[in-house]
Structure 1
Amino acid sequence: MDPTENSQSFNFPDSTRSHGKARGLEGAQVPIAEVGEAEANATTSGAASVGRTLSSLQSAQRASSPPTAMGSIAGAPSAEASLNQANEVAHPESRSPPTPPQDALNRKVVDLVLFLLLKYRRKQLTTRAEILHMVVRDYEAQYPVIFTKASDCLRLMFGLDIIERNPRIHSYSLVHALGITYDGMQHGFPGIPKTGLVIVMLCIIFIKDNCVSEEVLWRILSNMGLYAGREHFIYKEPRRLITEHFVQEGYLEYRQVPDSDPPSHEFLWGPRAHAETTKMKVLRFFASVVKQDPRSYPFSHAEALRDEIERM
C-alpha cells in the first residue's frame, strides 16, 4: 500500500455544528473563537485530520480481528444484550439515563478545548470543579468522555498535554507535548499554539527514514487540508510557517537535494528537535495516533532504541 494514501482515521468526533465560544466564560475572549463558528468546527475536525494524516503514513495493515461465533452474523443481538433488554422491561427504574445527542457532546468538547486554550494563554491552572461549573454543567455524567476527547484534540491539533498538578483537588495545566518548548503563537494566526504541526512534521520525517522530499510532504499534509500557497485558518500560509519559521526556530532543516535538476528540496529534523525530544517519544506519539504498538514498526523502533542508548 502506498504509505501516502489514507488507510486509517483517528476515531475522533467531527462536530458539524459546533459553537465558536465556550459558554459561561463571562465574555472572556477565547482566541480561536474570534475567527468564527466554522473555525471552531475545525477544532474537532482538524484533530481528526491530523490523525488521518499520520495514519496515512503507516504501511503495515492492521490484522482484522476474527469474528466470534456469536457475533459473526451482522446485527444479531448478543445473549447479554437480550438479557439487558428483558431486565429494562421488567424493571424500568433500572434504566440508564438517556445519552445526550452526539452533536451536544461535540459542542461540549469544543467548549472545553477553547476554555483550556484560554487557560493556557493566561498561564492559569484549572480544576475539575471549575470545568464542571464553567463548561460541562448539565453533562456531568459525560464528563470523562468530554474530558478525554478534549485532551485528544489538544494533543493532536495543538501539541498540548493536560497534566494533573494536584490529584487531591484535580487541578490541571497544559504543557507542550514531547518536550517541545515552542508554541508558535506569534506565527500564523496569533494566539493559537502551533506545536501540534511541529510534532506532525517530526513524525513524518522520522517515519520516512529521517528525510522527506518536499513533494511527498505536501502530498501527505493535504490530508490535513494544508496546501502550499493556500491560506489556513490556523497556520495562515503553511509553506512559509514550515520552511521559514520552523526552520528558523531550529526544528527543521530544509535543504536542496544535491545534484537535483530541476532543483528540489527535502526536510530533516533540525538541531532543536534533536535537543528537545527523542525519536522514541515521536514514535510513541505516532503509534498512539494510528492505534499501533511502536514495535509494529521494527526498523523505526530499533533506530529509536539506538538513539535512546546513545543519549545515556
Structure 2
Amino acid sequence: MDPRQNNRNVNQDSTQSQRETRDLEGAQVEEGEGDAISTTSGDVLSSSQSARRSSPGIVPSVAASDSQDSSTQATLNSKTIDVILFLLLKYRRKQQTCKAEILYTVIRGYEEHFPAIFAKASECLRLVFGLEIIERNPRKHSYSLVHALGLTYDGMQHGFRGVPKIGLVIIVLCIIFIEDNCASEQELWRILNNMGIYAGRDHLVYGDPGILVTEHFVQEGYLECRQVPDSDPPTKEYLWGPRAYAETTKLKVFKFFASIVKQDPTSYPNMYAEALKDELEES
C-alpha cells in the first residue's frame, strides 16, 4: 500500500475517533446540566434546564406572560421529576404501572402534558440510569422498567444505594468501543471528567465513580483492567470484560451511543461496520 494512502487512512480514523468522543462528551454534559436530587426518597435524577428547547410540546400553547410561562414550565419539570421518582420506586419494588396510575398518582391536573412529560422521563431513565420503559399491554398502557442492552447488573448496592448504576456501565462500554476497543486509564477518565464524572468525587447518581469503574465493574466482569506493558510510569487500560460480551453486543452498544448523540448510525461508518461484522459473526 502507498504509505501516503496509509497515512491518510490513519488520519481519517483519528479524526473520526475524536469526533465520536466529542459527540459522546457533549451529549452527556448537556444531559447533566440540571442534575437534581431528592434527599427524602434517596433517588437521583437529571432534569435538563433546556426542557423548553428539547421538548417544546411541554409548555402550554396558549399565550402567557414570561413569568406565567416560566412558572408553568417549572411545574411541568417538577412533574417530570415526580414521574422519574415514581418509576424508580416501581422498579425497586419490581412492580408494573400503567398510564392511568401515573396520571392519577403523579401528574393529576396536567393530564394533557402526559406525552411530553413521559417522553422526557423515559429519556432520563435511559441515559442516566440505564433503564428502558417497556409497554407490556398496549391496550391498558401498562409499563415496566428493564435493564438497557440486556445487562443483568444494576449496582443498586454500590455507591449511592438504591439507585441503578447501569447507565455508567453503558457509558464506559461506549467509551471503550469508540476508543478502538481499548481505552487507556487516562483517556477513559478524561472523557468521564468532561461528563462531570470524577474518580474520588461523589456523584449524585453513582457515588464514587472511581470505585465503581476500577473495582466493582471489574469484579462483576464487565471490564477487564490490565497493565500496559513497559509503561513508565505504570499505567492501565480497560477493555470489555467477559460478562459484557456474554450479555450484550457491540451493535447494541453502538446503537445506544448513536441515540445518545442523536445521530444516524451511518454517520459513523467505521464503528457501524465493525459492530455489524461482530454481530454477524456471533449469529
TM-score, with normalisation over the residues of structure 1?
Answer: 0.74
Distance 1:260 1:13, change over 3 A: closer
SS at match of 2:199: coil
Q: Mapping of 1:62-73 within 5 angstroms? A: none
Partner of 1:297: 268
Task: Note if 1:218 corresponds to 2:189.
Answer: yes
Q: Which ranges in structure 1 are unaligned for 5 or more consecutive residues?
A: 22-28, 33-39, 49-94
Deviation at 1:106, TM superposition (A): 1.2
Partner of 2:38: 20
SS at match of 1:101: helix
Partner of 2:47: 44
Q: Which amino acid aligns with 1:279?
A: K
Q: Mapping of 1:71-82 within 5 angstroms? A: none
Q: Give the alignment partner of residue 104 of structure 1, picking from 75, 84, 99.
A: 75
Q: Give the alignment partner of residue 197 of structure 1, picking from 145, 149, 168.
A: 168
Q: Deviations over 1:151-190 (max 9, x none)?
A: 0000000000000011111000000001111100011111
Range moving further from structure 2, 95-104 or 146-155: 95-104
Q: Deviations over 1:58-101 (max 9, x none)?
A: xxxxxxxxxxxxxxxxxxxxxxxxxxxxxxxxxxxxx8586772
Q: Give the alignment partner of residue 260 of structure 1, picking from 220, 226, 231.
A: 231
Check whether the contact 1:13–1:106 (CA below 8 A) recurs between aligned residues. Answer: no
Distance 1:216 1:103, change over 3 A: same
- Report how many aligned residue pairs link the two structures: 249
Q: Deviations over 1:125-149 (max 9, x none)?
A: 0000000011111111111000000
Deviation at 1:261, TM superposition (A): 1.1
Distance 1:97 1:129, change over 3 A: farther
Q: Give the alignment partner of residue 209 of structure 2, picking from 220, 238, 263.
A: 238
Higher relative contact order (CA 8 A, sep 6+): 1
Q: Distance in 2 between matches of 1:20 and 1:229?
A: 22
Q: Deviations over 1:234-286 (max 9, x none)?
A: 32221111011000100001111111111111110000000111111111111
Q: Distance in 2 between matches of 1:186 and 1:303?
A: 35
Q: CA RMSD in A?
A: 2.5
Check whether the contact 1:184–1:195 (CA below 8 A) recurs between aligned residues. Answer: yes
SS at match of 1:259: coil
Query: Max radius of gyration: which structure?
Result: 1
SS at match of 1:153: helix
Q: Distance in 2 between matches of 1:105 and 1:13?
A: 18
Task: Note if 1:282 corresponds to 2:278.
Answer: no
Task: Note if 1:30 corresponds to 2:41.
Answer: yes
SS at match of 2:107: helix
Q: Distance in 2 between matches of 1:231 and 1:142?
A: 34
Identity, % of aligned pairs?
A: 62
Q: Which amino acid aligns with 1:43?
A: S
Deviation at 1:15, TM superposition (A): 4.7
Partner of 1:307: 278
Distance 1:221 1:30, change over 3 A: same
TM-score, with normalisation over the residues of structure 2?
Answer: 0.81
Distance 1:269 1:238, change over 3 A: same
Partner of 2:131: 160
Q: Distance in 2 between matches of 1:291 and 1:230?
A: 29
Q: Distance in 2 between matches of 1:278 and 1:184?
A: 20
Check whether the contact 1:9–1:290 (CA below 8 A) recurs between aligned residues. Answer: yes
Deviation at 1:224, TM superposition (A): 2.5
Q: Which amino acid aligns with 2:239?
A: L
Query: Quick check: which one's helix share is greater?
Result: 2
Partner of 2:120: 149
Q: Which amino acid aligns with 2:81?
A: V
Q: Which ranges in structure 2 are unaligned for 5 or more consecutive residues?
A: 1-14, 52-60
Check whether the contact 1:12–1:149 (CA below 8 A) recurs between aligned residues. Answer: no
Deviation at 1:299, TM superposition (A): 1.1
Deviation at 1:231, TM superposition (A): 2.1
Deviation at 1:102, TM superposition (A): 2.0
Q: Which amino acid aligns with 1:200?
A: I
Check whether the contact 2:31–2:46 (CA below 8 A) recurs between aligned residues. Answer: no
Deviation at 1:8, TM superposition (A): 4.2
Check whether the contact 2:32–2:46 (CA below 8 A) recurs between aligned residues. Answer: no
